[in-house]
Amino acid sequence: MIDQDVIDRSNAVAEAALRADYAALGEHLDRRGIDIDAIKDKVAAYGVAIPSWGVGTGGTRFARFPGNGEPRHVFDKLDDCGVIHRLTGATPSVSLHIPWDDAAPAELNAKAEETGLRFDAMNSNTFQDSGQPLSYKYGSLSHTDPAVRQQAVEHNLYCIELGRKIGSKALTVWVGDGSNFPGQTNMTRQFDRYLGAAQDIYAGLPEDWRLFTEHKMFEPAFYSTVVQDWGTNYLIAKELGARAFCLVDLGHHAPNVNIEMIVARLIRFGKLGGFHFNDSKYGDDDLDTGSIDPYRLFLVFNELVQAEGAPDFDPAHMLDQSHNVTDPIESLMSSAMEVQRAYAQALLVDRAALEGFQKENDALMATTTLKRAFRTDVEPILAMARLEKRAAVDPVGAFRASGYRARVSEERPAAAGGGGGIV
Ligand SMILES: [Mn+2]
């Protein structure tokens, strides 16, 4: 996949400067009472899951412009995910989407071992038709026809069954159900139907599994969506039971919504299941994590670090973004590092000082305390964590030097263009 020599050569060029930068930052943090090695160890232990669908080029409702050497199937996807982890040391797991990634469990396990990966949450797809007997055109778990709901429930149970065989411990359910016109659906009955079907899935959840439901404000339904916001999502998790949690996709909110506050609320009531990280400017843009508003990402991590160590607090972290104009491997590597960066910055917050300023109602100093952590350039910490794992100090540079994309482009035939492709 990626020759270790390529990584080592690229690291050799960067190592001296990195050690000098790390020492200088270590001195600076020491004056703030922070042990840089302790932060580095936490960052090194941190991992974010890659969505299998992220390694293909995305698209919009208008068009899709395929890249070179796109993965043909789940095994190519796992190769690409293995490259991302090899170079960043930050993405030890992959989240599969079924039926897109359906394959024999033994073959999936063998490929995971070969690529040094494990499997994160399973994702069920009942938002498109893929050869199943009944159509999801008018919904899945909330469909008016009980036979369609049953088919969707059974698909989710199949995802759990496959997941059990490949070491997954969670199922993420996102449905496109809703309506496109006022009056098209009875919103109360539709939600009841959803809850009934979700209960059937929950009943099939193994004891050591978690069920994540993911809300989204709109699209593909453009008038109303069954699971449209964190309030509805919380009601679902509460109705279902102790192993049901809410998943927060950063792109699935109305513009200007205070996402870090939603995170705080879900933490307070023990219902934060995990994240789909991405960034957005206008809607569910699926842009690269941290590319538009890195401060918001930091504020989310500020809440997470504050909650660290609370009983049963173990949210799942995954990227979920669409790459239309970049090489997906490069975008996913950059995004994984942005997530790590936000985590590292949040670890630098002087929490005792912050609490003091909050008690005194010193708004200016409280916000300055957060800013001080956010403004710290933690790049040497991230890069040192990579160097010590023999991952790449400069993952994108090493990836380009490796020739991986050109190599797989020879094996993988050019994909067709066409429309759609966004997930
Ligand atoms: Mn998502």
Integer-rounded Cα radius of gyration of the chain: 22
181-232 pLDDT, tens digit per residue, is 999 999 999 999 999 999 999 999 999 999 999 999 999 999 999 999 999 9
Q: What are the structure tokens assigned to 5, written together?
A: 């020599």
Distance 259 CA to ligand 1 centre (A): 14
pLDDT of amino acid 17: 98
CA distance 35 to 28: 10
Domains and CATH numbers, the chain: 45-348 (3.20.20.150)
Distance 353 CA to ligand 1 centre (A): 35
The answer, yes or no, to whether residue 100 has pLDDT greater than 60, is yes
Distance 106 CA to ligand 1 centre (A): 27
**Residue count of the chain:** 423
Average pLDDT over residues 170-190: 98
Distance 390 CA to ligand 1 centre (A): 31
Distance 247 CA to ligand 1 centre (A): 8
Number of H helices, E strands in the chain: 15, 12
Question: How open is the CA angle 120-198-98, to the nearest 5 degrees?
Answer: 40
Question: Counting beta carbons within 10 angstroms of the beta carbon of residue 415, is it exposed (0 to 12), middle (13 to 18) or buried (19 or more)?
Answer: middle
Instruction: Please name the residues in contact with 187: beta carbons below 8 A apart, sequence gap of 6 or more.
Output: 179, 224
The answer to whether 295 touches 284, Cβ cutoff 8 Å, is no
The answer, yes or no, to whether residue 179 has pLDDT greater than 50, is yes
CA distance 205 to 226: 22
Distance 278 CA to ligand 1 centre (A): 9
349-360 pLDDT, tens digit per residue, is 999 999 999 999
Report percent pLDDT > 70 for the chain: 98
The answer, yes or no, to whether residue 12 has pLDDT greater than 60, is yes
| pLDDT band at residue 423 using 50, 70 and 90 as cut-offs | very low
315-350 pLDDT, tens digit per residue, is 999 999 999 999 999 999 999 999 999 999 999 999
Helix (H, G, I), strand (E, B) or coil at 46: coil
Distance 350 CA to ligand 1 centre (A): 32
Distance 295 CA to ligand 1 centre (A): 20
Distance 35 CA to ligand 1 centre (A): 35
Distance 332 CA to ligand 1 centre (A): 15
CA distance 132 to 156: 13
Distance 174 CA to ligand 1 centre (A): 8
The answer, yes or no, to whether residue 244 has pLDDT greater than 60, is yes
Question: Running DSSP on this structure, what letter comes out for residue 62?
Answer: S
The answer, yes or no, to whether residue 419 has pLDDT greater than 70, is no
| pLDDT band at residue 416 using 50, 70 and 90 as cut-offs | low
Distance 351 CA to ligand 1 centre (A): 31
Long-range Cβ pairs for the range 8-11 (8 Å, 24+): 8/390, 9/401, 10/392, 10/393, 10/394, 10/397, 10/398, 10/401, 11/387, 11/390, 11/392, 11/393, 11/398
Distance 277 CA to ligand 1 centre (A): 8
Distance 51 CA to ligand 1 centre (A): 9
251-267 pLDDT, tens digit per residue, is 999 999 999 999 999 99
CA distance 157 to 36: 45
| pLDDT band at residue 420 using 50, 70 and 90 as cut-offs | very low
Q: Is the peptide bond before 105 cis (omega within 30 degrees of 0)?
A: no
pLDDT of amino acid 413: 84
CA distance 317 to 300: 12
Average pLDDT over residues 22-45: 98
Distance 299 CA to ligand 1 centre (A): 19
If we measure between CA atoms, which residue out of 59, 33, 50, 165 comes closest to residue 115? 50
Distance 284 CA to ligand 1 centre (A): 9
CA distance 50 to 123: 12
| pLDDT band at residue 1 using 50, 70 and 90 as cut-offs | confident
Instruction: Please name the residues in contact with 347: beta carbons below 8 A apart, sequence gap of 6 or more.
Output: 39, 42, 43, 305
Distance 251 CA to ligand 1 centre (A): 8
Q: What are the structure tokens assigned to 324, written together?
A: 């239309």
| pLDDT band at residue 10 using 50, 70 and 90 as cut-offs | very high
Distance 290 CA to ligand 1 centre (A): 16
Average pLDDT along the chain: 96
Distance 56 CA to ligand 1 centre (A): 16
The answer to whether 39 touches 403, Cβ cutoff 8 Å, is no
Distance 29 CA to ligand 1 centre (A): 36
End-to-end CA distance of the chain: give it in Å, rounded.
Answer: 27
Query: What are the respective helix, strand and coil percentages of the chain, to the nearest 5?
Result: 50, 10, 40
Strands (E) across 166-230 are located at: 170-173, 178-179, 210-214, 224-225
Distance 249 CA to ligand 1 centre (A): 5
Instruction: Please name the residues in contact with 127: beta carbons below 8 A apart, sequence gap of 6 or more.
Output: 136, 140, 174, 175, 176, 220
Q: What are the structure tokens assigned to 141, written together?
A: 């778990």
| pLDDT band at residue 414 using 50, 70 and 90 as cut-offs | confident
HSE value, Cβ hemisphere, 13 Å, CA-based, for 350: 19
84-98 pLDDT, tens digit per residue, is 999 999 999 999 999
Question: Running DSSP on this structure, what letter comes out for residue 416?
Answer: P
